[in-house]
Amino acid sequence: MPAKRRTLDGTPAGEPHFCHNRREYTPGVAAVSTTPSPGPTAVPAAAPVPLPAREPDAATLARAAERAAGEVLTPPAPHLLADVVPAPQQVQPAPAENWALPAEAVIVVSADPAALAVAEQLAQLLRPATGYPLPVTDATAPEPAGGIALVLDQAADLGAEGYRLAISTTGVRVTAATATGLFYGVQTLRQLLPAAIESPVPVTAHWALPGGTITDAPRFPYRGAMLDVARHFFAVEDVLRVVDHLARYKLNHLHLHLTDDQGWRIAVDSWPKLTTIGAATEVGGGPGGHYTKADYARIVSYAAARHITVVPEIDLPGHTNSALVAYPELAPDKVAPPPYTGTEVGFSYVDPTDERTYDFVADVLGEVAALTPGPWLHIGGDEAFKVKGEVYTGFVERVQRIVADLGKTIVGWHQLAPAAHLDGRVLQWWGTNGEDPSTVDAVRRGARLILSPGNHAYLDMKYAPDTPIGHDWAGLIDVRKAYDWDPGTHVAGVPAEAVLGVEAPLWTESVTSLADIELLLLPRLPAIAELGWSPRATHDWAAFRDRLAGQGPRWATAGVTFHHAPEIPWPTAPTVPAQRNVPQTDPATR
C-alpha cells in the first residue's frame, strides 16, 4: 500500500477526486481493446508525491461541486469543463447540460472563408476517430441544432483571439469575433472530448461533452516556441508536426532559428552558396539540409492555417561559420574556415567593418522578408563574443535600419539592448537571473520583451540528470520549473505592459529526430503555453498538474512521444478503445 498522499481538497488520493480524468478509460465509456495504440501507451503509474495538506481554494471547491452535481444529474461526462490546457479565463459549468456528439451531427458555420476553413479543420479533427460524416454547411445565422455551430460575430466582445464556447443539450456553439478566436474555441472543444478523439482510426466511444460555458482570451499577444533547425536539420514534415503541437495549446508564433555555425538552412537566390556549401553539415557531421523557398512557403502557409505566424531568424553577426565557409569574403581575415560540426559558440562573425557584409545582410534579409507575411524579422545578436562595444552596437543599428526599411519589426536576443532604439523593437530575454540594467534601460526607451528565461523556458535543458538528451547549463527544468514563474514580473524593473509574451526555445545540438523534439517539448510546452495564455489568477501548480495529466492519453492515442514526468499524475491504466475497421490516415501527419 503506497503512502497516502492528500489531494487538494483534503481527501485521500485514490478516491473519486483524482479519477475524473481517467473515467474515459473505463469500459462502457470507451470500449476496451487489447490492440496496441499507434504510439507509446505505457504511461507509468505516478509515484505517489506527498502533498502538504492545505485548505481547498475556490477553484478546487468549484471543481468538486461540478463533479458532484454532474454525477447526480446526468450520466458521467468524461471530462470537466475546467479540464483544459491552457486554463481558460472563465468557466461556468452546467452539468445538467452535458451533451454527446451524435453520428448525424452537422457543423454549421458563418458564411466567411476563414471561418469555413476552421469548420473544415474541426471536421477533419473529429472524423477519423468518430467515423461520423460531420458535413460542414454555412449559414447567415448558424444554430447548433443538435450539432456544432461556429459563429463569427464581429460585435462579440471577445477581442482578436478570444472565443466563447457554450455546450448545452442543444449542441455546441462557438462564438468569436475572428476566425482565430473560432480556431481556439475548436482547440478547447477538442480537449473536452474523450482522449479517444485523438485516434487516427474510428473507435467506439461515447463522445460526451460537459455542459456549460467557457469565455476565454489570452493574457499576452505573443505566445511562441522556437525550433533550431540549424544545429540539426529537420524535414518540413517534422516542422509541420511541431506546428500541430503549438496549435493544440493556442500558441501563435513559431520562431525558426534558420542559420548557425553548423548550417545555413534557407535558400537565398542572391547568395546561392549559402545552401549549396553552407547547408551541407550539422552537429556530429551529418548531411544537414536546407529549405527551398517552396519548402519554406509550405511551412509558413501550414502555420498560417493554424493561426501561427512564423518568425524567421538569421543570426548575426556571430553564429555565422556556415556563411563564412560559403563566402570567405565575409570573414574578418577573408579566409574560409573549415565547416563546423561541434557545439561551441561565440567564435565566428561576419566582418562588421566591410561594406560587403551589409550588402549580404540586406540581400539575405530582403529575400527572407519576402517569404514572410508576418511582421517580425529576428536578427539574433547573441554570443557575438568577438564583436564588442561600439563595433557591435554600430553593426546592430545598421541591421536594425535594414529591417525597418523592409517594413518589418526587429526582434533580437536581449544582447541587442545597448543598440539605439527603433520603433517597435522587441528583445527576447534568455537570461537566467531576471536582472539586466541594459535590458531595463532598453525597455525604458520603448523596447518590448519576449520572455524565454533560460532556466525556465529553455526546452533543450534536461528534465532530470538522467534525461537522455539535452543540456544543463541553465539548470535542470522539470515541469514545475517550466510552469512556476510569472512572465509579468520575471525581469526586475520590466513592467508587465512591456511584456509582449513568452517563447519556449528548443536548441537542437543534442536533438536529432522528431521523437527527440517531442520528448523535450512535451509536457513542458503546455506549461509555457499556459503562462502565455491564462490569467495569472488561474496559476496553481497542483491544478495544472492534474489538468496536464489528462493530456498524456491524448498524446499516446495520437502517437506522440512525451516525457512521462514523474511529478505528473498520469492516468494509470490507459486503454485503447476498440478500433473499427475503417482505415484512415494519421491526422497528425496529414
State the residues that interact with ligand TNX by CB under 6 A. Answer: 345, 382-383, 413, 430, 458, 460, 471, 507, 509
- Residue 167's DSSP bridge partners are 172, 212
Catalytic residue among 120, 329, 383, 397: 383
Minimum separation from the CB atom of position 480 to ligand TNX (A): 20
CA dihedral 386, 391, 397, 399 (to 10 degrees): -50
Comparison of 46 and 477: residue with beta carbon closer to ligand TNX = 477
Q: Which is nearer to ligand TNX, 434 or 587 (CB)?
A: 434
d(CA 35, CA 555) in angstroms, rounded, equals 17
Least Å from the CB of residue 139 to ligand TNX: 49
Q: Nearest-5° angle of CA 277, CA 283, CA 288?
A: 40
| Distance, CA of 590 to chain centre | 19
CB closer to ligand TNX, 426 vs 560: 426
Grid cell 553577426 — which residue?
317
Torsion of CA 511, 512, 515, 517, to 10 degrees: 40
Which set of grid coordinates corresponds to residue 77? 461526462
Shorter beta-carbon distance to ligand TNX: residue 450 or 494: 450
Contacts 24+ apart (CB under 8 A), 56-64: 56/8, 56/9, 56/10, 57/8, 57/540, 59/538, 59/540, 59/543, 60/8, 60/9, 60/543, 61/9, 62/91, 62/93, 64/9, 64/17
Cα–Cα distance measured from residue 505 to residue 331, given in angstroms and rounded to the nearest whole number: 28
Q: Which residues contact 259 (CB under 8 A, 6 or more apart)?
A: 230, 265, 266, 313, 314, 315, 319, 320, 322, 323, 380
What end-to-end distance do the CA atoms of the chain give, in Å? 45
Q: Are 380 and 255 in contact (CB under 8 A)?
A: no
- Residue 221 Cβ vs ligand TNX, minimum distance, rounded to whole Å: 22
Secondary structure in 3-state letters for 232-300: CCCCHHHHHHHHHHHHHCCCCEEEEECEECCEECECCCCCCHHHHCCCCCCHHHCCCCCECHHHHHHHH
Residue type, 481: K
Report in angstroms how near the CB of residue 89 gets to ligand TNX at its nearest. Answer: 32
Cell numbers given for 291: 529549405
Please state the closest distance from residue 257 (CB atom) to ligand TNX, in A.
8
- In angstroms, give the least distance from the CB of 215 to ligand TNX: 37
Query: In angstroms, what is the minimal distance from the CB of 316 to ligand TNX?
Result: 12
- Min separation Cβ 237 and ligand TNX, Å: 23
* CA proximity to 310, closest of 371, 353, 262: 371
137 CB-side CA count, 13 A: 12
Active site residue 383: yes
Pick 395 or 533: Cβ nearer ligand TNX: 395
Letter for the amino acid at 38?
A: P
Minimum CB distance to ligand TNX smaller for 432 or for 489 = 432
Tell me the three cell numbers of residue 286. 551529418
In angstroms, give the least distance from the CB of 426 to ligand TNX: 14
The residue (of 24 and 478) whose beta carbon lies closer to ligand TNX is 478
Question: 3-state DSSP call for residue 83?
Answer: coil
Instruction: Tell me the closest approach of the beta carbon of residue 473 to ligand TNX, in angstroms.
Output: 6
Q: Following DSSP, what letter does each residue of 191-219 receive, concatenated?
A: HHS-GGGG-SS-B-B--EE--EEEEE--S
Helical (H) or strand (E) element with 367: helix 355-370
Q: Cell numbers at residue 252, please?
A: 501563435
Chain centroid to Cα 60, Å, comes to 27
Nearer to ligand TNX, 327 or 413 (CB): 413
Q: DSSP string covering 512-532, please?
A: -SHHHHHHHHTTHHHHHHHHH
Nearer to ligand TNX, 122 or 450 (CB): 450
**Catalytic site positions:** 383
